[in-house]
Amino acid sequence: MDRRNFLKTLAILSLYAPFLRLNSFSNQRIVVIGAGIIGTTIAYELSKLGVITTLIDKKFPGSGSTGSSFNWINATYPKTPYAYNYLAQLGITHFKKLENELDFPIKWNGSLEWTNSINSQKNLIKDVNHLMDYPTHTRHNIIDYIQASTYEPNINFFGNENIVFSEDDAALNTDKFIQVLVDKIKFNGVNVLNNCEFKNIKSNKNKILSINTSQGEIQADQVVFACGIDTNKIFNKTFLKPPTPGIIIKSKPYKTVINRIIYGPGIHFYQQEDGRIIIGEQGILSASEFKTSQNYPPRFKSKSVELKYINKIRNIGKKFFNQINQLEFEEIKIGWRPIPLDEKPILGRLSYNTNIYLASMHSAISLAPIVGKYIAKELVEKTKIPLLNNFRPERFF
C-alpha cells in the first residue's frame, strides 16, 4: 500500500474509532425511557459507542418537562454544594463541545440578575460571593445599572448598583436541539419510538430480559429511566418532591430588543434568534389551580385563567421592560418541574438491580451533555465515575 492510500485508510478508520474501540460493548441492548433532554443525550452518547439502543417516550421527544422549560444553561449560585456546581460547570464545557460536534450554535451572552428587595439583594450578593470562593467557578461580576444599561438599553434597572452579570450563561432552543439529536441518533441506528409508554420490566432475578410497553415487548439488558415527573409513579417510591408548576410563555417574533437572559424581579426572559421572547415566572402560579387534576396538565383549563396569568406577567414585566405590552403571545405552557427530595441530581444504578439506572434532576438543561456522556460510560463499562458519587440513588434507601 502506498503512503497516500495508507493515510486515507487511517483517516477512514478514525471516523469509526468509537465503534472499533468499544466493539466489545456493541452486543449490549440498552433501553432509555424518556426522550427529554437527558434521555436523548444519553441515547446520543450510547449511539456513538455503537451500543444497540432504543429510546422510547410516552408521547414524543421533548414533550415533557424539557419542552416546557425556560432552557437556561448555567452554573450559578443556587447549584450547591461545590460537587453539584462543578458538574454544572462541566455541563457548560461539554455543551461547547457539542456545539461543534452537532454544528448547533448557542448564544453565550450571559445573564443579568437583580431584585427590588434590599434583603433579597443582600442575600443574592452573599450567595454569589460564596460561589466565587469555590475552587473553580464560572465568571460572575457585580456591575451597576450604568454598565448593565450598556448591555441592555431596553431594560430599566432603577439605579441598582449590584446587578449580577453571569457571563457564561446561555439559553438553549431545546426543541431544535432535541430534533438535531434525534436525527443524529436515528442515523447512528437508534430505534426511537413515540407514543410508547413503559409498563414493566421482565427479568429473571437481577437479569433483565425485556421491558413491556404499550407497543409491545422490547428486549433489553439494561434500562435507563430518565422519565422526569413520572419517576415516583414508575418506581412506587418517593425520589422527587411533588412537581411544582411554572408558566412558560412564547411571544410571536419581535424586533431584537434583548441580548441576554434577564432575571428581574418576578419574571425572567430572553430573546431567541428568531425574534421570539421566552418568558418564565417566579412563583406567581398557584398550585390550587390544579387541585382537581392528578395528570399535571400542560395547559390551563380555560382561556380566562390563561389570560389572568398573562395579565399578571405583563403587569410585573412592564415595571422594568415596557415593551412587554407590545408583545403578542402565541403559546403559553405549564411546565411541571421534577425536583429530587434533596434538590440534587439522582444518577446511578439501583442497588436491588444494577441493570436499572435512574437519571432524574431539576437542572436537566445545564447538566445534559456531561450527564449523558458519563452515564453512557458507566453503562457500557459497568463502572462508577467518582464525580457522580455524590448523586447516587442509594441515599434514598
**Residue 165 forms part of a structural domain:** yes
Instruction: Examine the domain organization and report whether 209 and 326 are in the same domain.
Output: no
How many other CB atoms sit within 10 Å of the CB of residue 13?
10
Question: C-alpha angle 131/136/141, rounded to 5°?
Answer: 50
Contacts 24+ apart (CB under 8 A), 199-207: 201/356, 203/353, 203/355, 206/353, 206/354, 206/355, 207/355
Residue 275 lies in a domain: yes
Q: In this structure, is residue 91 part of a structural domain? A: no
259 in the same domain as 152 = yes
pTM across the whole model? 0.92
For residue 189, what is the domain's CATH number?
Answer: 3.50.50.60
**pLDDT above 50 (res 19):** no
Residues 166 and 61 both lie in one domain: no
Into how many domains does the chain fold? 2
9 has a pLDDT exceeding 50: no
The two counts, helices (H) then strands (E), for the chain are 10, 19
Instruction: Say if residues 307 and 223 touch (Cβ distance below 8 Å).
Output: no
At 330 the pLDDT is 95
188-203 residue pLDDT tens:
999 999 999 999 999 9
Domain that holds residue 63: 20-68+175-240+342-396
Q: What is the pLDDT of residue 284?
A: 86
Q: What is the mean pLDDT of residues 36-45?
A: 98
Write the DSSP symbol of residue 362: S
With a cut of 90, say whether residue 379 has pLDDT above it.
yes
pLDDT of 348 > 50? The answer is yes
CATH of the domain at 293: 3.30.9.10
Q: What is the CA radius of gyration of the chain?
A: 22
* Residues facing residue 347 across a β-bridge: 359
Q: How far is CA 72 from CA 261, 280, 309, 361, in A?
A: 8, 11, 22, 14
Dihedral in degrees, nearest 10, Cα atoms 247, 360, 287, 285: -20
Write out the DSSP string of 34-101.
--SHHHHHHHHHHHHTT-EEEEE-SS-TT-SGGGGS--EE---TTS-SHHHHHHHHHHHHHHHHHHHH
Strands 191-193 and 29-33: unpaired
From the list 208, 196, 233, the residue with the least C-alpha distance to 33 is: 196
The side-by-side arrangement of strands in the sheet containing 198-204 is 198-204, 207-213, 216-219
Least confident of 4-18, 127-141, 272-286, 336-350: 4-18
The yes-or-no verdict on residue 17 having pLDDT over 50 is no
Report the pLDDT value the prediction gives residue 13, as an integer from 0 to 100: 41
Residues 352 and 324 in one domain: no
Question: Most distant CA pair in the chain: distance in Å?
Answer: 75
Mean pLDDT across 390-396:
97
Q: Of 337, 360, 383, which marks where a domain is finished?
A: 337
The answer on pLDDT for 292 being more than 80 is no
Q: Are residues 181 and 329 in the same domain?
A: no
pLDDT class of 25 with cuts at 50, 70, 90: low
Q: Which of 319, 337, 355 is the last residue of a domain?
A: 337
- Does residue 75 belong to any structural domain of this protein? no
Residue 81 lies in a domain: no
Question: Which of 212 and 24 is assigned the larger pLDDT?
Answer: 212
Residues 6+ apart with CB under 8 A from 27: 52
d(CA 270, CA 279): 7
Same domain? For 330 and 199 the reply is no
Q: Give whole-number Cα distances, 65 to 2, 252, 323, in Å.
A: 55, 22, 28
Q: Is residue 108 part of a domain?
A: yes
Residues 120 and 203 in one domain: no
> Residue 5 pLDDT more than 60?
no
Q: Are 54 and 31 in contact (CB under 8 A)?
A: yes
Instruction: Quote the pLDDT of residue 270.
Output: 98
**pLDDT above 60 (res 32):** yes
pLDDT at res. 91: 98
Instruction: Report pLDDT for 15.
Output: 43
**DSSP state for residue 204 in the 8-state scheme:** E
The Cα 142–Cα 157 span in angstroms is 13
- Do 203 and 247 lie in a common domain? no
92 within some domain: no
The pLDDT of residue 26 is: 62
Q: Looking at residues 164-192, what average pLDDT do you find? A: 97
- pLDDT of amino acid 287: 64
Over the chain, what is the mean pLDDT?
A: 92
> Please, is 106 exposed, middle or buried when counting C-beta atoms within 10 Å of its C-beta (0-12, 13-18, 19+)?
middle
My answer on whether 322 and 209 are in the same domain is: no
Does 273 lie in the same domain as 187?
A: no
Same domain? For 132 and 233 the reply is no
Within this chain, do residues 284 and 324 fall inside the same structural domain, yes or no? Answer: yes
- pLDDT value at residue 283: 85
Q: Is residue 235 a part of any domain in this protein?
A: yes
Q: Please, which pLDDT band fits residue 11 given cuts at 50, 70 and 90?
A: very low
Decide which of 337, 353, 373 is a domain's last residue.
337
